[in-house]
Amino acid sequence: MIALIQRVSRAAVCIDGEQVAAIDRGILALVAAVPEDDDARARRLAERVLGYRLFADADGRMNVSAAAGGHAVLAVPQFTLAADTRRGTRPGFSTACPPERAAGLFDVFAAALAAAHTPVATGVFGADMQVELVNDGPVTFWLAS
C-alpha cells in the first residue's frame, strides 16, 4: 500500500458541500492500494503512519510521531496515487488495486489506525471528496508497505 502523508495544522473532507471528517494538528494520509497488497500490508502501513516521526521535539527536530505526540490522523482513500505515469500525458490505472478489493484494504488500514490511536477520522471510499488542508512546514513524505 501507498500513503502520501502530510503534517497539517488542520485538514477536512467535504462531500457535496458537507464536512464529513476533520482534524486539527496531525497527519493527513492519502492512501492507495496496489494489486499485490493484502491485510498485513494495510496494517503495516497503519503502523508506519502512526510511528513516522514528523513532529518537532523540544530541540526542534522531527523526532515525534503522531502516536507519541497524540496528534490526529485523517485517512483519505486516493487511488490515483497508484497510477502508472511512466509514459504519455494521461495516467493509467491498471497498476491500482481493483476498487472492490481496495475498499476492503482501506477499511483494514483505517481500522488498524483506530485500534491503535485516537483521534482518527476518514474520508469515504469512492466518493467525490474535496480535501482541505493547511500543510505545516510543508512536510510531506511518501510511504509504502
Q: Which residues are catalytic?
A: 78-80
* Contact (CB, 8 A) for 3 and 123: no
- Copy the grid coordinates of residue 6: 502530510
Listed in order, strand segments (DSSP E) in the chain are 2-15, 18-23, 26-32, 53-56, 62-65, 72-77, 120-122, 130-144
* Contact (CB, 8 A) for 7 and 135: yes
- Copy the grid coordinates of residue 37: 497488497
Q: How far apart are the first and last CA of the chain?
A: 5
* Contact (CB, 8 A) for 13 and 19: yes
Instruction: Write the CB contacts of 108 (distance below 8 Å, at least 6 apart in sequence).
Output: 39, 42, 43
